Structure 1
Amino acid sequence: MRVYLPATIGMLRRLVAEGKFSPVSGTGFALTPMLREAYTSGSTEELEYAALLDAARASLRLIAADSETADAADPPRRVVISADVDAAAPRPDLDAAVVRLDGPVALDQIAAVHVDSPEAEAAVTAAAAVIDAADLGDPDAEFTLGDAEDHELAWYAPQELPFLLELL
């Protein structure tokens, strides 16, 4: 099953150093039966992209939390790790695309990493500051969030991660 795991640049650094990634609380996003039911139409690729976007939004929450820690030195960019895992338990009580993993993901299970470009940093910083307000329906916060989500995530192969991190 392909899962999309929200992360930060600091988490990518730990992935490269340790060779494994432990999602926060084991939480990821995937094309679940409930997500498929939530859409009246859409190909598998389109629905997987919706799960990826949910993970990108969750990455904003991680960035907001990191802004108060040592990882604040890393650039504020949304990160989504795409991985192929054997099992992930759907968590429809949390949301249609949410899944729970029972352990870390090894580097060889990672299919790709998606990261914002430098041009997105200002929008991502602003969105991370208002993500909770956007979730509660604040129209100004939703507009700010939309500015960040207008930026497409760049695709990187796992073997490119050391070079990407060196260039940051």
Structure 2
Amino acid sequence: MRIYLPSTLTAVALALTEGEFRGGPRAAYAVTPALRARYGDDEEELEYAALSAAADASALLLAAAPDEPARRVVIAAELPDAVVRPAADPGSPAEVVVEAAVPLKRVASAHVDDEAAAADVAAGRGEDHELLWYATQELRYLVG
């Protein structure tokens, strides 16, 4: 299952050191039956909606960590269905719970605000910016 994990640049740096995004259970976002009921069957639109929900959750992580660089980060990863379950009381139709760590080998890409978006993200206007796509081998350049 493709999940979208809200994150921060500091968490990416830690994952690069540890080989995984540790912790769990943790909220993530995916194409769920509830999301499909809301948006229909257009896979591209469904994936974008799940990614956007994760970006909103990343903004909340940033709001709670004022020393964190104000760039939303979403990690896209492919996980076995067995480690992903529906959220008990989802705040979003795309919300799921990941029960295990997310190994870097399962990460497909990262989606990150550019540096110019930082002021808007810090002011709560991140939705005006599209996240940039990064391949997994580029992650070290984001945090280095």
Q: Common fold, TM-score beyond 0.5?
A: yes
TM-score (norm 1): 0.79
CA distance, structure 1, for counterparts of residue 50 and residue 109 of structure 2: 15
The alignment status of 1:125 with 2:122, answered yes or no, reads yes
Q: Which runs of 5+ in 2 are unaligned?
A: none
The alignment status of 1:155 with 2:133, answered yes or no, reads yes
Distance 1:23 1:44, change over 3 A: farther
**Larger Rg: 1 or 2?**
1
CA offsets, 1:39-59, max 9 Å, x none?
A: 2x3511111110000000000
TM-score (norm 2): 0.92
Equivalent positions of 1:1-168 (< 5 A) are: 1-22=1-22, 25-39=25-39, 41-67=40-66, 72=67, 74-87=68-81, 88-91=84-87, 93-94=89-90, 95-127=92-124, 147-166=125-144
CA distance, structure 2, for counterparts of residue 44 and residue 14 of structure 1: 32
Give runs of ≥4 in structure 1 deviating > 2 Å. Answer: 22-25
* Of 147-156 and 86-95, the range deviating more from structure 2: 86-95
* Of 90-99 and 149-158, the range deviating more from structure 2: 90-99
1:96 partner letter: P
The count of corresponding residues between Structure 1 and Structure 2 is: 141
CA distance, structure 2, for counterparts of residue 51 and residue 161 of structure 1: 21
RMSD of aligned residue pairs (Cα, Å): 1.4
**Paired-residue identity, %:** 45
CA distance, structure 2, for counterparts of residue 56 and residue 25 of structure 1: 19
Q: Which runs of 5+ in 1 are unaligned?
A: 128-146
In the alignment, is the contact (CA less than 8 A) between 1:29 and 1:52 conserved in 2? yes
Query: Which protein is richer in helix relative to its size?
Result: 1
